[in-house]
């Protein structure tokens, strides 16, 4: 029997054949012994595919498993994180839900090259995604593809590059409000629903989740003391949960020595009233901050109110307020206390930090105006 040839007279190797439309086909058995086919427009292209297939089979690469899509790979990787914190699981859920809408994520993992992965990152950037969001996605995609490498699905990880080499990190440092902005904010916010929350956050340095986790029993008006022992959170499905602080340092008591803070808590309790149904969450009830439906407020409720306040202020005033979050108010408290000379260990206790370096390096900020004032004060002392 003569050797099989293509239409150009070239001898075809075992497993190769030319189809009626002029394209080429290669037939082979994968590492599981299953018959597989690949196709190409030219014989040279087909033989390059053959070469890659034979190398993969020799190295034990499961080319059939690599047909999984990028989004299914991410889901598979996310399922290995079920024993991490609820918050971390929610981050994976958000990443899967968001990235599933991207055409790139429908590609098979064995078809994704380094250049494809970099182009995808740049696309996210061009779409207006913030660096922190892209960084979060990248931090999940890279180990997911590394898992595919470890499982012998692909030879190389296409996401094995430095994110900073692809897009600039333009994340703005969380800054405290300066004294002028703080004054303008408090004067304008007095008629807004979030006024008392702003006063409390500025005057105590609480995390917003700690504020939302306070119950009526946690506020001792007689001794002017607040007990911090938990945080209230709500996931993307609308499910509430109570979490204890990450470290023992998070459990603490905050003095209500500032009259404005004391009065703010008084108003919150009075405005709260007695809801028809008291929600119980993980054994706790009587949450201090309630929304209009009588359900406990969470961080996103307060942020929503703050966003509306900023928008309305900036619409009616020539000098705009900067965008800020409840966490910026925590920064502002720490900075104010540090600049007024509060003992570092005391401030560390009030902030609920296990490490004083976190308190000073992350939360206590300084600028030229404050440096000038402090230098003038020291020089005046002599």
**CB-CB contact of 258 with 193 (8 Å):** no
Catalytic residue among 183, 246, 267, 300: 246
DSSP strand E in the chain: where? Answer: 16-18, 24-29, 35-40, 219-220, 225-228, 231-234, 240-243, 252-255
Give the three-state DSSP class for 335.
helix
Distances in whole angstroms, Cα of residue 306 to Cα of each of 116, 315, 327: 40, 14, 12
Task: Say which of 295, 297, 330, 331 is annotated catalytic.
Answer: 330
User: Catalytic: 330?
Assistant: yes
Q: At what angle do helices 326-339 and 299-316 cross, to 10 degrees?
A: 80
Nearest CA to 186 among 177, 173, 273, 58? 177
Q: Is 146 left (phi over 0), alpha (psi -120 to 50) or beta?
A: alpha
Catalytic residue (one of 129, 192, 327, 349): 327
Whether 207 sits among the annotated catalytic residues: the reply is yes
Check residue 335 and give left, alpha or beta (phi > 0: left; psi -120 to 50: alpha): alpha
Whether 353 is catalytic is: yes
Radius of gyration, CA atoms only, the chain = 30
Residue 377 CA to residue 63 CA, distance in Å, equals 71
Active-site option among 207, 234, 295, 331: 207
* 211 vs 206: CA distance, rounded Å: 6
Q: Is 5 helix (H, G, I), strand (E, B) or coil?
A: strand
Q: Distance of CA 54 to CAs 17, 73, 169, 180, Å?
A: 17, 24, 42, 70
174 is catalytic: no
Residues 6+ apart with CB under 8 A from 124: 133, 134, 137
Is 35 among the residues known to form the active site? no
Bridge partners (DSSP) of residue 108 are: 69
Tokens, residue 61: 């690469």
Catalytic residues: 207, 246, 327, 330, 353, 363
């Amino acid at each position: 029997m003569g050797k099989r040839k293509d239409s150009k007279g070239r001898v075809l190797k075992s497993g190769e054949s030319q189809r009626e439309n002029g394209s080429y086909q290669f037939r082979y058995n994968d590492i599981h012994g299953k018959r597989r086919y690949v196709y190409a427009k030219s014989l040279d292209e087909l033989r390059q595919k053959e070469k890659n297939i034979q190398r993969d089979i020799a190295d034990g690469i499961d080319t059939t498993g690599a047909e999984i899509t990028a989004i299914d790979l991410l889901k598979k990787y996310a399922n290995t994180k079920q024993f991490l914190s609820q918050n971390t699981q929610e981050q994976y859920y958000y990443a899967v839900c968001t990235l599933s809408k991207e055409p790139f994520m429908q590609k098979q993992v064995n078809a994704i090259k380094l250049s494809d992965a970099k182009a995808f990152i740049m696309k996210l950037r061009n779409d207006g995604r913030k660096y922190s969001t892209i960084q979060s996605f990248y931090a999940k995609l890279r180990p997911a593809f590394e898992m595919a490498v470890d499982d012998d699905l692909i030879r190389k990880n296409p996401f094995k590059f430095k994110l900073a080499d692809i897009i600039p990190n333009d994340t703005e440092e969380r800054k405290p409000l300066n004294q002028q902005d703080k004054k303008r904010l408090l004067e304008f916010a007095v008629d807004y629903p979030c006024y008392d929350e702003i006063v409390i956050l500025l005057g105590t340095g609480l995390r917003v989740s700690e504020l939302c986790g306070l119950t009526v029993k946690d506020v001792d008006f007689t001794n002017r003391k607040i007990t911090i022992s938990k945080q209230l959170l709500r996931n993307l499905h609308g499910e509430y949960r109570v979490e204890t602080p990450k470290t023992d340092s998070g459990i603490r008591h905050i003095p209500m020595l500032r009259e404005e803070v004391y009065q703010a808590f008084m108003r919150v309790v009075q405005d709260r009233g007695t809801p028809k149904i008291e929600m119980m969450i993980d054994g706790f009830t009587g949450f201090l901050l309630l929304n209009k439906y009588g359900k406990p407020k969470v961080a996103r409720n307060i942020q929503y109110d703050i966003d509306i306040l900023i928008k309305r202020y900036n619409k009616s005033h020539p000098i705009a307020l900067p965008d800020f979050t409840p966490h910026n108010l925590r920064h502002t408290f720490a900075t104010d206390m540090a600049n007024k000379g509060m003992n570092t260990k005391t401030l560390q206790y009030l902030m609920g930090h296990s490490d004083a370096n976190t308190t000073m390096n992350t939360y206590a900020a300084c600028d030229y105006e404050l440096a000038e004032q402090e230098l003038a004060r020291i020089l005046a002392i002599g």
